[in-house]
Amino acid sequence: MPEPTLKDVLDRSRQLEEFAKSIQLGFVLLREASATQGTLEGMKSRIAAAQREAESLETQNAGLAGSIATERDRLLDPVRKAVTTIEAEGMALRKAQAADLAAFDQERGRRASILRDLDERAAQAARDHQVRLRQDRDEAEAEKATLRGAIEEVRARLAIATEDLDRIRTEYTQVLEAASRLVRPRAG
């Protein structure tokens, strides 16, 4: 078998050099894949935090609804008691004097106006709370959507890196096979 020429040696050294570059690129891609995996874990943590925050807002909503109902009852109880007392006294006064009836009707109208005002305030507070709750939910959903998009982007980059790594492995195997074929004739 003839000795390899300098040109053959140079050709083989170029192949080895390309092989070394492929391995270096593989390591770079592996480092990027590792960094991408860390980013993915961070995104997962942010999604979990957003879900916990949404649950916390739900709990706050339930507490606020109870507080509004309690406050409304607290404000309405004295007025209801006062109306009941006035109505009882009014029946006795109607028997005694017709003139007091007009004064009683005016007082009852005023108290009914107070009750309507309190009812309107409580209803407005409940509506305002629902609006805030919807806004908080919408913001949480928007954050979730943003995080989902980021996760999908990371997954796509990971898939590309995996494909590149597979290609590099295939090239590496091909280079090893070529090197093996080159070495075999010398051994024989």
Q: Spell out a b/e string for 98-136, using b for 16 or more CB atoms within 10 Å of the CB, else e.
A: eeeeeebeeeeeeeeeeeeeeeeebeeeeeebeeebeeb
Domain contains 135:
yes
Q: According to the model, what pLDDT value does residue 174 have?
A: 92
Residues 134, 127 contacting (CB under 8 angstroms) = no
CATH number at residue 108: 1.10.287
How far CA 33 is from CA of 118, 147, 153, 171, in Å, comes to 62, 19, 13, 19
Examine the pLDDT at 104 and tell me if it is beyond 80. no
- The model's pLDDT over 140-184, given as tens digits with 9 standing for 90+, comes to 898 998 999 889 999 999 999 999 999 999 999 998 888 888 887
Give me the number of domains the chain comprises. 1
Domain contains 84:
yes
Of 138, 133, 135, which Cα lies nearest the Cα of 65?
A: 133
Examine the pLDDT at 47 and tell me if it is beyond 90. no
Domain contains 1:
no
In this predicted structure, which of 56-60, 62-66, 88-92, 139-143 has the lowest mean pLDDT? Answer: 88-92
Domain contains 148:
yes
**Segments forming the whole domain that contains residue 110:** 6-187
Q: According to the model, what pLDDT value does residue 116 have?
A: 92
